[in-house]
Structures are given as structure tokens and as C-alpha cells.
Structure 1
Amino acid sequence: MSTLEPLVTAQSTGVDPTDALPRELLLRIFSYLNSFDLLRLSAVSRSWYDICYDGSLWHTIDATQYYTRLSSSQLTRLITRSGNYVKDLNLRGCIYLDIFESLGIAKSLSNLLFISLEGSRKFDHNALTQLIKNNGSLTHADFSSLMTLTNASCFTISSSCPNLVSLDVSWCPYCDANGLIDILRSCKVLRDLRISGCKGVEDETFIGELHHTARHLRRLSMASCTSLTDESMRLLISGARDRILVDPVTRRPNIVPTKIQYLNLSYCILLTSQTLSDLAYVVPDLCEFELSGIPAVLDDGFNALIPNTPNLTYLDCEECSQLSDSTLNAIAMAECGKVFRHGHFSFCENLTDDGVSNLLKSCPALKNLELDNTRVTDEVVNVAVQVTREQVGKVLGTLQRLVDRGEYGVPPRAEDLTGVILRLATYDCPNLTWQSTLGIMRRNEERVLFNLRRPVASSADLTDARDHISQSDTVLFPTGFIQLKCAYDHQKIIDGHLQFLLMGEFDTAIQLEREFAEYCSGDPDYEFLRYAQDAVRPNLLVGNLPALLNRGGGGGSNGVGGNGPAAGGQNNNASNNFTLGNIMRSRRRNRRGPILSQVMESLPGDDDAVGIDEGTAVQHRRRGSFAGCAIM
């Protein structure tokens, strides 16, 4: 009779089973992990430590993701062990590196292509010089807010990195135009130059060199260069201080146009509208233009520039107090109005409802509009509601025509119409009332019924449509959402309302909207929101209510109370099931009782509000928990 041999396992012998695998195979397996997981697994064993710190896994080191969880010695060890494998190094915000650690990092790296040392105040000057000399193939460098960057460092960059494509030396206090001249002369392939806050940019020698480089630049940032004048900009544009010659036939200046797509001249307080007129035919490819904080800019400058920039999608005119509706009308009538997406007109107090409404109606691609601290009224919000409703109707009409022709055989995805389609900032606008906030909330609640065989039905026809349309042939869609930044008293309410909608909790959102309307209308019988605003911790209501509602029914994935099939078990204790419906029913039974106190007693001890971001909503949609929608 044979005897049974004892079972020998890796745990009993103390042998790591992964030691039997080839190192190349282990490296391939570990290459699918992210940086933070590699650092955590390095503590498992000595062999895993060697694998996780292998340089072939660290072509990119982005310390912004985990530098707060690593000591400076651990970060230095990681970089020095990776050595020549590292091609992309981001040390933005790593302020704890001392002189010796920065020298060790500089000596171990020699194949860098991308580097960012933004805000690394303790990075030594000698280490920076050594790092630049060792990495002659450097193409993208971000040294913004670096205290140790000097004009000598700029000379080292010009002599060691001729292939530099992008350079950011903004807000470096010991770097000025004299050092940048060497870089402009040596780096012939420079495409992105950011020198915000640099001194001496009005120097004729520097402006002349920048004029030759500007022909090839794609991005130029000179924000807060307070010594920059109209004469300096004219020299930058034309290369000469003489008056710009104009072609007698085309009436255009005889200047070779540049390829600049992004231009930032914000807070160059000496500039006027003359600079915009000079730029009119020089930047035909301009897509993003920032000119905030310059009160001397008038409408005539934008009226000359905007018609000649057909690709303009982003315009920042914040604190340009002299602007009026003429600039907005110029955008609406120009060719760029078809692609215009972002407009920032905060503190432009001369804007009226006519100009803003014209902009909303004429720019179909508009996604973000900031009008805070202006004199707009509820009419602008009503126009925004009308415009977004028409845009969604066009999308639904197009999809329905495709279905009718048999070219769209499946229902549209939820991502086609859900999500935020317009962001509107109107806080600190004294002429707006609570009716505008209520209008946005009601617009966000709208849903449409998309049918595979019948035309689209509006939300008002849902009751009749459900009687004679097969459920399998229909899809119920939200019509997109407007994200409003409004008065402080209403902000928490509308944010909570939007969060409920993004999670698919339409019934809860509608009930919250009704409570808001009753409260603002002055009905004393409704005390729900009154307690929310008068409480010591007013953010608890909307901020923590989503987590509270999910918690009440066992954490189900189908919304309030967790009544879906994925619920983790029903809670039979009625006192802990704090859904909004139960709260309202309890309040109706005892109208004088402080309903909010029941909610606060069940809240966790943490004072921070539990919010629902859009990423969480996307996860809910992926799991099919978008209430009222058939997610395909």
C-alpha cells in the first residue's frame, strides 16, 4: 500500500512561484500596471522590488500623481534606478527635493525628451545646468516659476538643446529678455514659447529676434508683460518701426502672415485697440485669443480682428470694461461664429441682452459662456434654454430620418444626447432672479421618446405615447443638460439637481425642483429648503443626500432606495430609509416637525459633503442604471 507524500506548496517552502518565470515575461506582465500600482507592489518581496523598479517600466515618470505619498529619497531612488530609460519626467510641484537629491537626478538622466520642473523651488542651479547639458535631445521643457533659472541657464539651453520645440519660462524672476535672445537665435524649430511675466520684452533687439521666430510659432504667451506697448507689438508684427504699408488694391498690409494659433496678451495694460488692428491680417490661423484685464481695448479693435480669424474658437475678454454688444455681433456675423465654442466676457458691464442673445442664436457650437458680473437679465437664460432645445431637436430629427431610411438600425446611445451641452456662468448678476434658475432646472428635466418606427414624441406626449407604442421599440432620453453657475444661495440646489439627473434620479430631481419653486415663491408651508439655507452646515442637504439615498435602501444601483435587482439587500428599518419621498410623506404627516433634522441625524460624521461628479454618473450609465433610459 503506497503512502501519500505530503503536499509541498510554495507557501510551505517559502519560495516565490513567480521566481520560476523568466524576467522578460514578468516585465511584460508588470508593464500593464500603472505607476502607483508598481510602487505598491514593490513592497511585496525583494524580487518584486527589483522588477517594479526596473528602468524599462519607467519611460514616463509623472510624479504629480504620487509625490505626496513618496518621500524625496524614494522619488530620487526611483529616478536614478530608471536612469537612461526615462524620456518623460514631470516633477511639477515637487518642492521637497534638496540640493543633493536634485544633483543625483541630474546626473542619472541623459535621454530626456520632455521635462517639467514647474514650481520646484529647491531644484539647485548647478543641478539644472547639469540636467540641461546631459539631455541635448530635449524637445519640450517647462521651467515656469523656477527660482533657479537665470540668464546663464538660458545660454546653456541655447547651446545644448537646439531641437527645442516648446519652452515655458513664465514667472521666472531671474530670467529676462537678455537671456531669451540666445534661445531665439539658436532654437530654430521652436513652436511654443511662453514668457509670461518676463521683464525687458520691450527691448528692440529682443522684439526683432522674436519677429523672425514668430513666423514659425504656433503658440505665444506674453501675459503680464506690463512693459509691452503698441509700438513694441508693431515692431513684432512688421519688423520695423515705420508705418505698416498697405496694398492699394486689396487694402491689406504688406506683412507675411504668421502661423500662430494661440496668443495670450492678458494684463499687458499698456496695449490698446491699435494692436488688434495691426494683428488683423497677421494671424489668420488664430484659434485661441486671451486679452483679459486691458480696459483700454475698444470694440473697433475686435471689429477689425474677428472677421479675419475664421478659426477663432476661444476668446477671453474678461475685465475689458469698454466692450459692448458690437464685439458680440461681430462674432455672430463672422465666419468664426460657426465654430466659436468658448466666450469669457466677465466684468464687461456694457453688454446687454441683445448682444448676448444674438451670440447664443448665431453660434451653434457654443459650449461655455461666462457672463458673471454683467447686467444681463432672465431673457438671456430663456434664450439659452430655447437654443439648446432647438439643437437637441435637430439631432433627434437627424437620427429619426436615418431610422426612417433604414440607415440607423439600432437606438441611439445615451452618450449622443446626455451630458452637459452648455455651461453658463451668471453669478453676481444683479438683474437675474430665481426664475432663471428655475427655468434651467426645468429645462434639464426634459426628456424625449425616441421611436424606431414612429416620429419623435415630446415629453408632453409621453403618457399618450406609452399606450400604443411597444416598449421594445422606444428609448427615453434626457435632452442634454445646462450647467449653470448662479447666485451663491441657489448654487448648491442646482448642483444637487444636476447631480441627480446625471445619475438618472429624475423623480428625486423633479421633487427637489418643486420644493425650490415653492420655497422661492414664498409659501411658508414648505420648510425643506428653508432649513437647508438657514442651517449651520447648509451643504449637508444636497451634498450628502445622494449618498444618503443610496445608503437607505442597501446601496442599490437603480437609484433611490436601491430597489433594483442589484440591490445589496433591503433595509427593513423604516427610520433608516431616508429617501426624499419618505421625508416628504413624513413632513406631510407632521408639518411642524423639522424634517431636515431627521436627515442630519443619519449623516456620517465627516463634515465634508459627498458630491457626485460626472465620472460617477458615467459609471452608473455604463452599468445600465440610468433611470428611464434604455442604455445600448
Structure 2
Amino acid sequence: MKQEMTSRPTQQSCAKMAANTNGKRASCNDSDLDCNEKRRTRAQTRKIRSEIFENPSTTRMTFMTWDVDPIVTQHIYDDLGVREILVDDDIVEKLRPTPPIMVNNGLFPPKPRKVETVHSHPGESRLRPLQQTTPCRWMSRKHDRQKNDSTMGQVPWERLSDELLLSVFSWLNKRDLSRCMMVCSRWHNVGLDESLWGRIDLSGKALRPAALGYLVARGVTVLRLARTDVCSPVFHDEMGLNCLSVQECPLKLQYLDLSMSNIEASSVNEILRLCSRLVKLSLESCSVSGETLRYIGQCSDLDTLNLAMCTGIGEDHEAMAYMMQQCNKLKSLNIAWTNLNYPTLAAAVSNLPRCLEHLNLSGFRSLLTDEAVYMVVQRCPGLIELDVSDSSLLTPTTLETLINGLPSLRHLALSRCYHINTAYLVNLGAMPKLATLEVFGILCEIGIANLKELLPRVKVNTRLFSTVARPTTGYRWTSIWGLKCPNM
């Protein structure tokens, strides 16, 4: 009995195990069928895609539109209690916004992509998209600019006209302009325009030989060379200027300041020989010669001349007389402390132009006399400013001459004229336009205070140095005769 009882469960369990095994086998068969179906579907899809990309011309495109069965639509309208609005077919076509969808054999095509064939296993190939890198934003913009440029091989600067390029160069200083002229021949030609080189300041610099000549030949009109070292020669033989005469002179220099510059007399003559258009000239503290005065006389338009403290013209009275006779348009003249001898000073005084308004004759200690001042008053009755300081031979007679002969005089300098009695200075109040009076070294502080009370409308001792015909006065060290010169 026990054996039968034990055998029965064993048979039941075996039956169950057999049923489970059959079920598993059936499920495995079903799963195998599904896998095979999926594999066939994938292979078919892969084949269709390969045909699309390999032979796009053979692909047949169909159009599909969306529509609803009219019977079903009528039932829906009846249930809602509404009726269909009839519209013309033309209007329906216009109101239909959705374009037809292109379908390839009933399947939606994928997004077009560049593909490459990759062999992962022998005899097997599959498709994968190419890795395309998108350029940066600045790279794309640069590419667009290069693509849109109609003039290939040209930079934007070359498309500018000469007028626009000239206006750009006008904002540069002379050093940067010289560097730009070395870029190309076109920039060099534009940079040689005379409007860019009108005013130049080379004060305190050292110039190599012929450098000044090349600079002046560009059309400079205002040139400041104060305290400048100028090496000889000024003009190079290749420039072709040495063989020209004054009438054939191409230089346009009008304002020249050579005050306290280190330059030879021959170089000064070389410049003045070709600069016959000078209007204002300053050779203060320079070494000159009689030939220099003759070249100055050829400047017929000269109206301001500063020869203060010049050396080398003390004994050439003929050249001084020639210069004074030719420069008949002079309005400002400064020949202070030039160490002239008496014949040369007499030649200068007796040939002064009648249009002279500003005159400086200071520094002639034992040469300037009352007779010389009287001649000055007779030659130049329209003087506005007169400086006769450091003249020890002048007497109160000079004051009477000035009061009677110069009614337009506004500034008078009598500093260190020790032979003029201080009591006669009060008589200067009779001059109607006298505004300033310089009497340094004559009166003490108490005497100056008393003189100010006796002459209330005259300012006493306001100028320590004379400003007659000098290019730079006061704090305006970057300009000459009121014209601003840009630094090089």
C-alpha cells in the first residue's frame, strides 16, 4: 500500500513535468517564429533603404491625402443637430494648408543623411551616418565674407578711393604716416600729398644728412626746428634742387623757426636759397653770414624777421643795407644783441621800411645814440612797440623824440638806460596810447610805486623779456607765431 501511495504522486508529478515541458517547447517555437518575423522585417526595411539611397531615380513616389467617409460624417452631423456648410471646390483648395505627404512604398522615408558602408564582420555590411562637424560661428561668417567678396584677391583697403584714404591718413601723426607709406606704392603716393605735411615740429631732434631736404620737398609750409641738430648737406644731389634758381624754386615753406638750432651757416644759406616764399623767419642764436642776409633780401614777402643774438653779420654793412631795402614789407624786426659795428647799425637804421610796427634794438650799449633813435622815429612813425634797452648813451632827449614822433606807441622798453633821468619818465604820460613801460634796473621799488601812481593807466615792468618777432612767447611752446605745429 505504501508503495502504491508513493508511486501515485510520482506519476502525477511526471505528468505535470511533461506538460510543462511541452508548454515550454511550444513557447520556444512561438518566440522563434517572432524572431524570424522580426529579422525578415528588418531585412526588408534595410533592403528598401538601400534601394532608396543607391538608386533614387527608380524610387516611385506616391501621394497620400487625408479624408473621411461622407456617410460617417453625415451621421455625426445628425447626432450633433447641425448640417454641413457647402463651399465651392476652389475655396476648399485654397483653404487646405496641409501639403501632400510623400510616401515611399507605403513607408515614411527617413531624414536624408550622408552614409558610409561599414564592414563589422566578414560578409556583412551596414550603414551608419557620417560624422559631420559644424564650423564655428566666426568661421562661418568669415567664409560668408570671403564668398560674398566680388573682388577676389583684393583686401577692403584697396577698394577705398584716394580721397577716403587721404582722409584716414590725415588723422595719423607724422611718424605713423611715414610707416604707412612703406606698405605699398599706392599708399606711398597718397602719403606724399601736401595737405598731410603742412605743419611739422622737429624741435629738439637730430636730423641726418638730406633728411630735412626730403621733408621740406613734400610741401611743408610751417616748420619748427628750434634746438635741432641739422647735419649737412640739407639737400641731396639726387633731388635735383641744387641746380635750381630762386625763381624756379618748388618749395612752399613760409614759416621757419631755426632758433637756437645747431646748424652751419652754409646749410642756412642752402635752405634760404630755395625758400623765397618765406613770410616769417627766426634765426635767433644761429651762425649766419653776409650771404645769408642777401638770401633773406630775396624773400620779398617777408614781414617778420628775428636775428637776435646772431653771429657773423657784424661787419657786412652792404649786405645789411641790401636786406633792408629789399624787405620793404617788414612789420616786425629783432636785431638785438647782434654785435653790429657802427656802420652796419647805421645801414640798418637808415634803411628801415616805413611800414615797420615792432622793433627791437636792445643790446647796443655804446652804439645806439639819440641821433639813431631820431632816425628810427623819422623812418617809422607808425611804431607800436619799441625796445631800446641796454643802451647807455641815450639821454632824456630820446624821450622828447618819442613823445613827439610816435603817437601810436603802446609798448616802450627803457631797461638799464642809466643816463635817462627818472624825473623825465613822468612826461611819458603825454603819450595817449602808451600801455606798458619797462624800466628794469633804473628805479628802485619805491620809485616804481611812485611811477605807478603818477601814470595810473600805464602798466610798469610787466615783461621781463622782449617778444618782438619771436616765434614762441609765453606758454605756447608748441606753436610758432600763433600757428600750432604737430610734433613729429
TM range (shorter): 0.5 to 0.7
Aligned residues of 2:349 and 2:375 also touching (Cα < 8 A): yes
Partner of 2:437: 315
Which SS does the other structure have where 1:263 is aligned? strand
> Which of 410, 428, 431 is 1:287 aligned to?
410
**Structure with the higher helix share, 1 or 2:** 1
Deviation at 1:334, TM superposition (A): 4.5
Residue 128 of structure 2 corresponds to residue 128 of structure 1: no
1:47 aligns with 2:186: no
Residues 306, 330 of structure 1: 8 Å contact kept: no
Is the 8 Å Cα contact of residues 358 and 383 (structure 2) preserved in structure 1?
yes
Give the structure 2 partner of residue 142 of structure 1. 282
Matched, 1:162 2:300: yes
TM-score, structure 2 as length reference: 0.54
Contact 1:299 1:324 in 2 (8 A): no
CA pair 45-157 structure 1, distance change in 2 beyond 3 A: closer
Deviation per CA, 1:534-557, whole angstroms, max 9, x where unpaired?
Answer: xxxxxxxxxxxxxxxxxxxxxxxx
For 1:308-347, list aligned pairs within 5 A: 308-312=431-435, 314-321=436-443, 325=447, 328-329=449-450, 331-334=452-455, 336-337=457-458, 340=459, 343=462
Matched letter for residue 72 of structure 1: L
Following superposition, the deviation at residue 234 of structure 1 comes to 4.2
The answer to whether the Cα contact below 8 Å between 1:296 and 1:320 also exists between their aligned partners in 2 is: no
Match of 2:372 in 1: 233
* Residues in 2 aligned to 1:78 and 1:161: alpha-carbon distance in whole angstroms: 20
Q: Which has the higher contact order (CA 8 A, sep 6+)?
A: 2
Distance in 2 (alpha carbons) for counterparts of 1:215 and 1:199: 24
Q: 1:38 to 1:98 in 2, by over 3 A?
A: closer
Corresponding letter in the other structure for 2:400: S
Whole-angstrom distance in 1 between the partners of 2:464 and 2:226: 31
Return the letter of the residue paired with 2:370.
E
User: What letter matches 1:207 in structure 2?
Assistant: A
Asked if structure 1 preserves the Cα contact closer than 8 Å seen for 2:331 and 2:358, the reply is: yes
Give 1:195's match in structure 2, choosing from 308, 315, 335.
335
RMSD: 3.8
Equivalent position amino acid for 2:313 in 1? C
The answer for the alignment partner of 1:85 in structure 2 is 219
Report matched runs for 1:30-109 at 5 Å.
30-33=169-172, 37-40=173-176, 42-43=178-179, 46-47=182-183, 50=188, 54-64=193-203, 67-68=204-205, 72-73=207-208, 77=211, 80-81=214-215, 83-95=217-229, 97-101=230-234
State which drifts further: 135-144 or 17-26: 17-26
Question: Is the 2:439–2:460 contact (alpha carbons within 8 Å) kept by the matching residues of 1?
Answer: no
Question: Shift of residue 150 of structure 1?
Answer: 0.7
Answer whether contact 2:334 2:360 (CA < 8 A) is retained. Answer: yes
1:299 is aligned to 422
Secondary structure (helix, strand or coil) at the match of 1:100 reads coil
Give a deviation string over 1:139-167, Cα, whole Å, max 9, x none.
211112111x1112212322x22222111
Check 1:335–1:211 CA distance in 2 against 1; reply closer, same or farther (3 A cut). farther
SS at match of 1:131: helix
Aligned counterpart, 1:622:
none
Separation (CA, whole Å) in 2 of partners of 1:293 and 1:236? 22
Find the aligned partners of 1:294 and 1:102 in 2 and give their Cα distance: 46
In structure 1, what is the equivalent of residue 161 of structure 2? 22
Change in 2 beyond 3 A, CA 1:214/1:334: farther
Indicate the SS of the match to 2:311. Answer: coil
* TM-score, normalised with respect to structure 1: 0.43
Q: Gaps (5+ residues) in structure 1?
A: 240-255, 347-612, 614-632
Cα 1:187/1:333, change in 2 over 3 Å: same
Alignment of structure 1 residues 72-471 onto 2, 5 Å: 72-73=207-208, 77=211, 80-81=214-215, 83-95=217-229, 97-101=230-234, 110-125=251-266, 127-147=267-287, 149-158=288-297, 160-176=298-314, 178=317, 179-200=319-340, 202-203=342-343, 206-207=345-346, 210-211=349-350, 213=352, 215-237=354-376, 258-312=381-435, 314-321=436-443, 325=447, 328-329=449-450, 331-334=452-455, 336-337=457-458, 340=459, 343=462
CA distance in 2, matches of 1:288, 1:275: 15
Distance in 2 between the 1:45 and 1:283 partners?
Answer: 55
Note the C-alpha offset of 1:120. 2.3
Q: How does 1:540-551 map to 2 (within 5 A)?
A: none
Deviation at 1:232, TM superposition (A): 3.6
SS in 1 for 2:251: coil
**1:520-545 Cα deviation digits (max 9, x unpaired):** xxxxxxxxxxxxxxxxxxxxxxxxxx
Q: Percent identity?
A: 19
Structure 2 residue ranges without an equivalent (≥5):
1-111, 113-131, 147-151, 243-248, 466-474, 476-488
